[in-house]
Amino acid sequence: MTIQWFPGHMAKARRQVTEKIKLVDIVFELVDARLPLSSRNPILDEIIGEKPRIIILNKSDLADPLETKKWVAYFNDQGIAAVPIVAQEGTGMKQLMGKAKELLQPKFDRRAAKGIKPRAIRAMSIGIPNVGKSTLINRFVKKNIAQTGNKPGVTKAQQWLKLGKELELLDTPGILWPKFEDPEIGKKLALTGAIKDTILQLDEIAMYGLEEMKIRNPEMLAKRYRLTEEELNLESPDLLMLISERKGYKDDYTRAAELIVFEIRSGKIGKYTLDIAPVSLPKRQDIKWENR
């Protein structure tokens, strides 16, 4: 299964981000904590360049907490600050602002020494679709100033938002890259909701998700769908058919697939991280990881 999705507005957004990057002090790069590597757009590295950045591992409540700690340590060892948050609940927001102030203190000290009046931090929110950029903004201002949705492609244009006296944030649309060299990355992004369901074969995504849950959360998978040990070991197409029948959907496998994908995304079959942190610490372009 090959998954590609690069709407025209993403190409436009990439150009706009490249033009506006010079206006900000720091970049907030949001990633999905379940996919700390696969949800990082490689195009963004060349756009961001040497600009200070913080990798924000959002939706950390859905990820394996041990793996999240490993990824934070990994990014720190690569010289990149990383903070896990749950934007929906506001968890980790103080740590995020604290880290931003820490990284930019030398710059603002230099400005003060020149007699330049202090001003708010200017940040850019950037990342792939559906990692929670708009939810992060709404949490900062404690109201729904940015449109959100549990689907990719909600934010269609850049917008400057003043968030109190400490922060001015440029929100940007999610940007995917034109081609996934590794089809496994496409599957991971599809399973976690970074790609629109309307262009996917949901039964294939559901079967991929079942195989991943067999590895990561077999007990919760069995409990959720009342599976015996023998049933749990069925091939994924047979398991999908069994779950469809058990839910009373008969031959409506699409409905069963939608249910399975939704329940995996929402954490009803347990916490999971699909990208396993590297044991060693190679340079990013040399990273390889294993699926457990």
- Do the strands 167-171 and 159-163 form a parallel or antiparallel pair, or are they unpaired? antiparallel
Judge contact between 243 and 256, C-beta under 8 A: yes
Strand-by-strand arrangement of the 121-127 sheet? 81-84, 53-58, 26-32, 121-127, 167-171, 159-163
**Residues flagged as binding site:** 58-61, 130-135, 174
Record the tokens describing residue 291, joined without a space.
């699926």
**CA dist list (Å): 32 to 160, 192, 286:** 23, 8, 21
Q: Are residues 121 and 168 in contact, defined by beta-carbon separation less than 8 angstroms?
A: yes
Token pair for 238 = 């047979």
121 phi and psi angles, rounded to 5 deg: -65, 135
Give the whole-angstrom CA distance, residue 61 versus residue 63. 6
Q: Rounded to whole angstroms, how far apart are CA atoms 167 and 183? A: 38
Q: Which residues are annotated as a binding site for GTP?
A: 58-61, 130-135, 174
- Asked if 204 and 220 touch (Cβ cutoff 8 Å), the reply is no
